[in-house]
Amino acid sequence: MSALHQPDKSLVRKRFGRSLTTYCDHAAVQAQTATRLADELIAVAGSRFDRIFEVGCGTGLLSRVLCERLDYGSYYLNDIVEECRAVTSQVPGSVFMPGDIEFISDLPTELDLIVANAVFQWLHDLPGLFKRLAGQLAEGGILAFSTFGPDNLTEIRQLTGISLDYYSLAEIMDILAGQYEVLCCYERSVMLEFADPSSVLRHLKMTGVTAIKPPRWTKADLNDFSDKYLKSFASNNGVILTWQPIIVIAGKK
């Protein structure tokens, strides 16, 4: 993968913490992806999982879907943002484990299902985490997740050079191959339409997706960004923004 911008975890914690009250109202793609992830999971692996661990539960978009549709015993919720502990009130029988998933030392073991929705693109060492999570899964355990591909927010990358270093679906498949058998994989492009470039930036802010590096734009920078955005990515009713969700369901080998 080419080196673009590695997430600043302290900034991720700060920006997503600030967006907790606005996230659900603006994260349409993430919400749709959570529902699709649950659909695919149940289709290929059923609905009974005794011990579930969710990485990066956030405001509970995926948590609420799964607790309604799955038959489970224990449900462990994790997030780097301490305030996400509130999700436990929406998920019966759940326990919150705060912290950065890449550094938590006492993860639950013998898990039947590990899930994550729109989280793994923020990690520093995804291959290392996949290997570690395989060790926490019970025999026959399932890893089910969504993330985003290289064309995600391509308009922002083309105009500013700012982007996460996303893995492609093919690269994800290669990484998983050592410890997992991929049971289902899926990717698509979703183009959202906004009235103007300022609305695009507001959308990203409200969903915490500005957590790559601190903004250092002047008013002139913002005006230049808006002019270029309108010129390059205009639509019939404003401008477009591309999201590229990826879904993977994999079983531990």
Q: How confident is the model over 169-197, as pLDDT tens digits?
A: 999 999 999 999 999 999 999 999 999 99
Quote the pLDDT of residue 215: 60
Q: State whether the Cα torsion 136-78-81-151 is positive or negative.
A: positive
Task: Please report where in the chains the tokens 């990717």 appear, as a residue.
Answer: 187
Report the percentage of the chain scoring pLDDT > 70.
Answer: 95
pLDDT reading at 82 higher than 60? yes
Q: Where are the alpha helices (DSSP H) in the chain?
A: 9-18, 23-26, 28-45, 61-69, 126-136, 154-160, 169-176, 197-206, 219-232
d(CA 236, CA 150) in angstroms, rounded, equals 25
> Residue 76: which of 111, 120, 44 has the closest Cα?
111
Supply the angle between the helices 61-69 and 28-45 in degrees, to the nearest 10. Answer: 30
Mean pLDDT across the chain, nearest whole number?
Answer: 92
Which pLDDT band, with edges at 50, 70 and 90, does 22 fall under?
confident
Q: Residue 222's CB: how many other CB atoms inside 10 A? A: 14
Q: Give me the mean pLDDT over the 19-44 stretch.
A: 91
pTM summary value: 0.92
Q: Give me the mean pLDDT over the 115-119 stretch.
A: 96
Lowest mean pLDDT among 35-39, 64-68, 214-218: 214-218
Q: Which domains, from first to last, does the chain contain?
A: 9-252 (3.40.50.150)
d(CA 168, CA 83) in angstroms, rounded, equals 31
Report the percentage of the chain scoring pLDDT > 90.
Answer: 78
